Amino acid sequence: GAVVSQHPSWVICKSGTSVKIECRSLDFQATTMFWYRQFPKQSLMLMATSNEGSKATYEQGVEKDKFLINHASLTLSTLTVTSAHPEDSSFYICSTSLSGNFGYSPLHFGNGTRLTVT
């Protein structure tokens, strides 16, 4: 069964609006959640690492004020794309690991959110 639940699956919004994406860990506590973005025919690119109870760590080139991450509980991490623009249209995916040993345990992904900004 699913380990990570992500909503919404897809969203179409107008330029300038904000979109919140939720990622929930099912039946386990996820202290760390990774947020990825994938453009068509490209590899998954890590955007940020979300840590429960502390500030997220953003990858180089990712604007923290534009992509707001909140990890207020052990089962929920959210990514808000603020003032979305067409170039933000992409496939956003969250992931985590069951064991917390990210070096050797595989990741489990949410079902992804396909964002289209018009």
Question: Does an H or E element contain 38, and which?
Answer: strand 32-38
Q: Is 77 in the site for other proteins (CB under 8 A)?
A: no
Collect all residues with Cβ–Cβ distance below 8 Å to 103 and sequence separation of at least 6: none
Stretch that binds other proteins, among 14-22, 35-43, 60-68, 75-83 (CB under 8 A): 35-43
Q: Residue 112 interacts with other proteins (CB under 8 A)? A: yes
Strand partners, 5: 24
Give residues in contact with other proteins (CB under 8 A): 6, 32, 34, 41-46, 49, 57, 91, 93, 102-104, 106-112, 114
